[in-house]
């Protein structure tokens, strides 16, 4: 009997060991899931640069569709990452038609990979026309995705990477489905200057002296993220008048004299600075630079790199920035076509020529170095200024992230190098002491360029700040 017991003793030990091992497994602590703030924001930098490169050549994307795309791209990436941001809310409950997938609890996601997949899917859908217009640029979307994917493949398991990218695609597909329901905004870039639109006529009302049709006359009807219907309408402009003693005349005279001073005093430091300022912020021309709204993305991307922000911060930053820029575009364009204020160029040539004979041939300083056409004027009404609104919206969002904190108490010194090395225009870097200064200079630059009155700039700046404020007031935090 004892011999039998000794014979089976090793088997009993093995069985006991297996039971103990299984028990340990059953009571093992769950896998710790990394939150989004444990990752860097490099994936955003990759996609920001790709967006800025493609949008530069995207016909029909300026001025409204570009910030609209940024709004949806930013919101989608945020919704991909927000399950890994314990202190943040999803925005899903704010929009009745938005049906987002839900990530099961305790699901491990490699958050940068979800962002990468989200951007790749939406960029191809927003810029589908580039496949025919610029195949190489369109191909850069897939190249960016593959480049970032390869980096992530060295940092995450195959299973985790596949699950994370699928999550990103699922969120992006839902965001895109919601985007298509905005009938006025969806693919509106394909008909930027609708033939059926006829602008009103009369004293002080906008018309294009080159015979162009108005760009995006219905953009004020596009869906917004945060602003109300009341927010969309600018304050009344200065009453139109041709009286030399009127405020309206004074504002036109300021534009006329500023441009004249620049053109006649090229070696004067003040004249040079005014010319530099106007060209540095212009970004008006297709194929030359990215457009004015993404200019604020270019600035944000530079600061992102300087401050080395984490993925969670970047997700919130680029969602807020894109949504604020978009909402500003809707409110400004709604107001432009509501008031239909004449541009300075036609008013100066028609009205100021009685007092200043050379004004009869006056043109703006907006020149196209690619085509050689000079004295351009945007093909939409003057009041309020879109540049100014985008500057105001972007500057306020950036201020909310990078100013009034322990590192930057109330100020932020920053040198904008986004046009560094350009030779077609004065693109040398300019330095700013605060985000407010960035927005204000963006706004004021339209006067020395000769395309806006001061009232356009002041009111545009105010509307942009309102758009940003409304976005900031959304329930981002728990």
User: Residues 20, 255: contact at Cβ < 8 Å?
Assistant: no
Q: CA 435 to CA 414: how far, in whole Å?
A: 8
**88 pLDDT exceeds 80?**
yes
Q: Phi-psi bin for 201: left (phi > 0), alpha (psi -120 to 50), beta?
A: beta
Q: Which domain holds residue 307?
A: 36-472
24, part of any domain: no
279, part of any domain: yes
Q: How far apart are the first and last CA of the chain?
A: 70
Q: Phi-psi bin for 39: left (phi > 0), alpha (psi -120 to 50), beta?
A: beta
User: What value does the mean pLDDT take over residues 273-285?
Assistant: 98
Residue of 233, 252, 232 lying closest to 241 (CA atoms)? 252
30, part of any domain: no
Contacts of residue 153, defined as CB under 8 A and 6 or more positions apart, other chains included, come to 161
Enter the pTM of the model.
Answer: 0.93
Sorting pLDDT into bands at 50, 70 and 90, what band is 209? confident
448, part of any domain: yes
Q: Among 24-33, 69-78, 228-237, whose mean pLDDT is lowest? A: 24-33
What pLDDT, on a 0 to 100 scale, did the predictor assign at position 32?
61
pLDDT, tens digit (0-9, with 9 covering 90-100), for 328-343:
999 999 999 999 999 9
250, part of any domain: yes
What pLDDT, on a 0 to 100 scale, did the predictor assign at position 9?
38
Cβ atoms within 10 Å, residue 343: 26
22, part of any domain: no
Sorting pLDDT into bands at 50, 70 and 90, what band is 31? low
195, part of any domain: yes
Q: CA 339 to CA 172: how far, in whole Å?
A: 37
User: What value does the mean pLDDT take over residues 22-42?
Assistant: 69
Q: Among 24-33, 78-87, 392-401, 455-464, whose mean pLDDT is lowest? A: 24-33
Mean pLDDT for all residues in the chain? 93
What pLDDT, on a 0 to 100 scale, did the predictor assign at position 17?
45
Q: CA 333 to CA 100: how far, in whole Å?
A: 30
User: What value does the mean pLDDT take over residues 313-336?
Assistant: 98
pLDDT, tens digit (0-9, with 9 covering 90-100), for 402-431:
999 888 988 899 999 999 999 999 999 999
Q: CA 302 to CA 378: how far, in whole Å?
A: 28
**287 pLDDT exceeds 80?**
yes
**60 pLDDT exceeds 70?**
yes
47, part of any domain: yes
**21 pLDDT exceeds 70?**
no
Domain containing residue 71: CATH number: 1.10.606.20
Q: How many domains does the chain contain in total?
A: 1
User: Residues 171, 83: contact at Cβ < 8 Å?
Assistant: no
What pLDDT, on a 0 to 100 scale, did the predictor assign at position 33?
84
């Amino acid at each position: 009997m004892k011999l039998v017991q000794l014979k089976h003793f090793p088997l009993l030990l093995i069985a006991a060991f297996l039971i103990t091992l299984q028990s340990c497994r059953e009571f093992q602590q769950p896998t710790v899931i990394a939150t989004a703030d444990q990752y860097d924001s490099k994936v955003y930098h990759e996609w920001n640069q790709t967006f800025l490169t493609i949008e530069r050549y995207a016909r029909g994307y300026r001025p409204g569709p570009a910030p609209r795309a940024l709004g949806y791209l930013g919101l989608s990436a945020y919704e991909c990452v927000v399950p890994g941001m314990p202190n943040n809310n999803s925005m899903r409950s704010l929009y009745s038609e938005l049906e987002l997938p839900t990530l099961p609890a305790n699901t491990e996601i490699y958050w940068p990979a979800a962002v990468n997949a989200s951007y790749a899917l939406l960029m191809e859908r927003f810029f589908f026309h580039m496949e025919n217009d610029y195949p190489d640029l369109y191909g850069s979307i897939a190249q960016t995705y593959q480049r970032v994917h390869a980096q992530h493949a060295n940092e995450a398991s195959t299973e985790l990477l596949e699950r994370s990218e699928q999550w990103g695609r699922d969120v992006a597909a839902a965001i895109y489905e919601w985007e298509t329901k905005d009938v006025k905004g969806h693919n509106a870039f394909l008909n930027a200057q609708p033939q059926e639109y006829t602008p009103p006529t009369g004293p002080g009302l906008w018309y294009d002296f080159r015979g162009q049709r108005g760009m995006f006359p219905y953009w004020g009807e596009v869906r917004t993220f945060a602003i109300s219907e009341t927010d969309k309408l600018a304050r009344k402009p200065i009453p139109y008048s041709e009286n030399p003693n009127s405020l309206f005349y004074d504002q036109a005279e300021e534009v006329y004299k500023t441009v004249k001073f620049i053109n006649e005093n090229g070696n004067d430091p003040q004249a040079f600075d005014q010319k530099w300022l106007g060209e540095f912020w212009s970004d008006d021309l297709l194929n030359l630079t990215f457009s004015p709204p993404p200019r604020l993305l270019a600035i944000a991307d530079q600061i992102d790199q300087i401050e080395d922000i984490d993925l969670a911060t970047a997700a919130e930053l680029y969602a807020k920035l894109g949504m604020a820029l978009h909402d500003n575009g809707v409110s400004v364009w709604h107001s432009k076509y509501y008031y239909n204020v004449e541009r300075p160029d036609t008013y100066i040539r028609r009205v100021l020529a009685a007092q200043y004979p050379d004004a009869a041939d006056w043109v703006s300083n907006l020149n196209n170095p690619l085509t050689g056409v000079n004295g351009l004027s945007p093909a939409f009404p003057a009041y309020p200024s879109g540049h100014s609104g985008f500057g105001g919206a972007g500057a306020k969002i950036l201020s909310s992230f990078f100013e009034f904190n322990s590192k930057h108490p109330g100020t932020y010194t920053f040198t904008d190098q986004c046009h560094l090395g350009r030779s077609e225009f004065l693109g040398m870097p300019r330095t700013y002491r605060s985000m407010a200064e960035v927005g204000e200079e963006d706004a004021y630059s339209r006067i020395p360029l000769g395309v806006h009155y001061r009232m356009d700039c002041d009111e545009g700046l105010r509307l942009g700040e309102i758009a940003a404020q409304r976005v900031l007031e959304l329930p981002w935090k728990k």
